[in-house]
């Protein structure tokens, strides 16, 4: 197994661990996910020569996302990392130049050792096919999804706040932000 596609596994885990603050199972698996994804889309220098060719969608807001961010250089603020928190240990790596995209999802469930503790594989040595299901996928990207300055801004007819890049909802002739359309959000206003 080639764990050293764009660097040695131990070196990459250490780099991701420094970014995250410690080395945990999420950092170890996120490192292998990143190595597998980048290899499949032919990105060899994600923070250098290939940095403008890469976008990643992550499906969890846990430690593995920090590993992917640390090793790829992709960030939500640069619009090269999209976070879709579905609670799944999965990420889709996209080569923007070629359009090649793969979704990498862990195969690992918790395997008990008889004492109720999870047995985790040796992430440095376990075969890729044991750790992941890797699927070629298509990711339709609009110009509004790409890195760079906002292409447009519109005000919400309800709250008046600005909505950027096609994230608004047209409803009964009004332009609304998603929270106003859904009549809910993660916060509640305090009186």
| Cβ pair 83, 76 in contact under 8 A | yes
CA distance 118 to 130: 16
Q: What DSSP designation does 79 have?
A: T
Q: Which helix (H) or strand (E) holds 28?
A: helix 25-40
* pLDDT tens track for 44-92: 999 999 999 999 999 999 999 999 999 999 999 999 999 999 999 999 9
Question: What's residue 124's pLDDT?
Answer: 84
Confidence at 166, pLDDT banded by 50, 70, 90: confident
- Dump strand ranges (E) for the chain: 54-58, 81-83, 90-95, 101-106, 132-136, 153-155, 162-164, 169-171, 174-176
* pLDDT tens track for 4-50: 445 589 999 999 999 999 999 999 999 999 999 999 999 999 999 99
Got the DSSP string for 29-47?
HHHHHHHHHHHHTT-S-TT
Q: Which domains does the chain possess?
A: 9-141 (3.30.1330.130), 149-191 (3.30.60)
Single pTM value for the model: 0.84
| Cβ pair 59, 88 in contact under 8 A | yes
CA distance 65 to 114: 30
* pLDDT tens track for 102-161: 999 998 755 544 454 567 788 888 899 999 999 999 999 999 899 988 899 999 999 999
Confidence at 189, pLDDT banded by 50, 70, 90: low
Question: What's residue 182's pLDDT?
Answer: 87
């Amino acid at each position: 197994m080639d764990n050293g596609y764009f660097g040695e596994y131990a070196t990459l885990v250490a780099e991701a661990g420094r970014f995250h603050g410690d080395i945990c199972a999420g950092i170890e698996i996120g490192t292998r996910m990143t190595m597998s994804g980048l290899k499949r889309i032919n990105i060899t220098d994600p923070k250098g020569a290939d940095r403008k060719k890469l976008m990643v969608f992550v499906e969890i807001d846990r430690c593995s996302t920090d590993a992917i961010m640390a090793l790829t250089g992709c960030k939500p603020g640069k619009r090269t990392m999209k976070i879709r928190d579905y609670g799944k240990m999965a990420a889709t790596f996209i080569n923007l130049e070629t359009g090649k995209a793969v979704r990498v999802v862990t195969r690992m469930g918790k395997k008990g050792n008889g004492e109720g503790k999870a047995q985790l594989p040796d992430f440095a040595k376990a075969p890729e096919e044991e750790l992941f299901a890797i699927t070629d996928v298509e990711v339709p990207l609009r110009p509004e999804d790409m890195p760079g300055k906002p292409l447009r801004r519109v005000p919400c007819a309800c709250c008046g706040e600005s909505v950027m890049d096609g994230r608004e909802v047209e409803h009964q002739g009004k332009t609304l932000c998603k929270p106003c359309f859904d009549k809910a959000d993660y916060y509640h206003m305090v009186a």
